[in-house]
Structure 1
């Protein structure tokens, strides 16, 4: 391959269409399997590449960036969240960071509604009975869930995804409420028919469903801590398709086991794949393996954004999705 082309290292397997296009444009090193890169492999990548294409499973911290070679000039993250990347250190080293925002909004909002329905209508319990072959037939009082129409939904984080959840929830007849770092524009609020709560505590205490849709920042770590979870009504449920560490998972598990919260739907977890076995054992909990953004269309669009960011950088311009420390 020509040495004039940018050297690009991709840390995980990507959809075939994305890998093919990357190979056409750049001197790219792809993964042969989908195993997560070891620390040693990441060190080798940042030492030798012009561009690194990591995912959320790669910790691109200050220590790793410090070992980067002179060639590394761009970290083109495959994903919107960049809390796994030390953006400030990268900038100090002259390495640009970019991401893929906005692509997965609808996919994640769809999954949020799926979790709300799954928890309130007890779908996994019904599936389990059918898979075991234990169904004895219809009965008037079997698997009674709750109707979501008319319920109050409290959205924590009214960015792109939060607003997409609000539109879907309204179509299901839910009453939309929200708490956000900044109140959204009055026109947006009116269009969504959403009620703003300055006090998160007051909102949490009055909602039937809480949806976590805020990013992971130091200020959102354990935002739903034990004290705040205890404010929820015993009949309320909580769903999270954002970042696991926003909820104190141990506190949530204790309250679910004690019947102090009616249910939970989780697609993300505080400690990654290390999920509390007591949480997994609860029949009022729906757990998914971080599937919120898992659509083929979304994954290909993410790849297209990565390619545009790299190509724009190669052409001497600022990548359209550059992330700055001040944005975090």
Structure 2
């Protein structure tokens, strides 16, 4: 059972706030948090959820999470001592921010520190998709390579093609720079608000309506945050507008793309290929996607360099220490709750 893998650090004589580290993480994080708090640790890669998470959080004032643990009103009701929820992820659709704010619970995430690493990966995944790297590697490993052909795994060029970005935040702009400055790509994008004119000019970026973006892009990269308004933002209708030679790369969140519709579109030749790092219901992957050869699949690892993951985790720890010791959490999502805190 999940509770069997909970362990508690040795405590001193002076009472200190108790914090749950809800996922295995770097030793430096335990060391930093252990300087301030009594720690309870969940030492399994399987995330605590629902009643198991509520049980582990009993008597805890703070929790360090990895980004998938569900923090909702029911859990907050069951854990009245909870004062801070600090995540090492950027996305926070797993947290009911409104419910946390109403109960005076500080919430933080870990933006900025993963921008360049994630952009590196997103561009690499797009290139692997365009040039059919995964498909050709499997072909070679199976021993199927017997002779050279002029069209053997001929894919799509990246240089000089049209890069479409859906979601032009920090990561989207970092991917744009790689495409425009490094590969001479034409850049089109859609965002809820346009970039400042100087930024557009520096990249030669053209803002398009979403339907036009789908039709124009040779390589579409999706980097929008997930929420109710972006659920299945890219579905059957949007995919039908894409070029049959186009690729789609999703490094946003599972649920932004309708995975079932994407599998159908790929199978029917409505677009050439897809690169996916995120999935609906992950770690499960839609079985039709698994059966397709023209999809590059990776297990949600866009930010996974050791240096970046360590920086994300330490930022979450810094937020947690500040939130529970009277400081100013550096990346609080609802800093207004700090004004409601009682001293101590």
What residue number does 2:92 align with? 82
Secondary structure of 1:320 counterpart: coil
Which string of whole-angstrom CA distances, capped at 9 and with x for unpartnered residues, describes residues 107-160 of structure 1? 211111111111111101221122223322443321211211111111001100
Secondary structure of 1:219 counterpart: helix
Cα distance change of structure 1 residues 187 and 6 upon mapping to structure 2, 3 Å threshold:
farther
Distance 1:191 1:5 in 2: 52
Output the aligned Cα RMSD: 1.7
| 1:245-260 correspondence to structure 2 within 5 Å | 245-260=255-270
Is the CA contact 2:33–2:321 (under 8 Å) kept in the aligned structure 1?
Answer: no
Distance 1:325 1:230 in 2: 43
Is the CA contact 1:157–1:212 (under 8 Å) kept in the aligned structure 2?
Answer: yes
Please tell me whether residue 103 in structure 1 is matched to residue 125 in structure 2. Answer: no
TM-score, normalised with respect to structure 1: 0.94
What residue number does 1:178 align with? 189
Secondary structure of 1:29 counterpart: strand
Which string of whole-angstrom CA distances, capped at 9 and with x for unpartnered residues, describes residues 297-321 of structure 1? 1111012211221222233133121
Is the CA contact 1:222–1:248 (under 8 Å) kept in the aligned structure 2?
Answer: yes
After TM superposition, the runs of 4+ consecutive aligned structure 1 residues lying more than 6 A away are: none
Please tell me whether residue 237 in structure 1 is matched to residue 251 in structure 2. Answer: no
Is the CA contact 1:88–1:325 (under 8 Å) kept in the aligned structure 2?
Answer: no
What residue number does 2:54 align with? 43
The equivalent position to 2:74 in structure 1, one of 55, 63, 88, is 63
What residue number does 2:139 align with? 129
Distance 1:287 1:117 in 2: 13
Secondary structure of 1:146 counterpart: coil
What residue number does 2:65 align with? 54
Is the CA contact 2:17–2:61 (under 8 Å) kept in the aligned structure 1?
Answer: yes
Q: Please list every run of 5 or more consecutive structure 2 residues that lacks an aligned counterpart in the other structure.
A: 1-10, 337-344
Is the CA contact 2:106–2:323 (under 8 Å) kept in the aligned structure 1?
Answer: no
What residue number does 2:31 align with? 20
| 1:143-162 correspondence to structure 2 within 5 Å | 143-162=153-172
Q: Please list every run of 5 or more consecutive structure 1 residues that lacks an aligned counterpart in the other structure.
A: none
Distance 1:325 1:273 in 2: 32
Which string of whole-angstrom CA distances, capped at 9 and with x for unpartnered residues, describes residues 140-188 of structure 1? 3212112111111110011000001101111122111110011111122
**Which deviates more from structure 2 when the two are superposed, residues 113-122 or residues 12-21?**
12-21
What residue number does 1:298 align with? 308
Distance 2:189 2:261 in 1: 23
1:325 to partner: Cα distance: 10
Distance 1:231 1:80 in 2: 30
TM-score, normalised with respect to structure 2: 0.89
Distance 1:273 1:308 in 2: 28
**Which deviates more from structure 2 when the two are superposed, residues 243-252 or residues 16-25?**
16-25
Secondary structure of 2:189 counterpart: strand
Is the CA contact 1:78–1:303 (under 8 Å) kept in the aligned structure 2?
Answer: yes
What residue number does 2:289 align with? 279
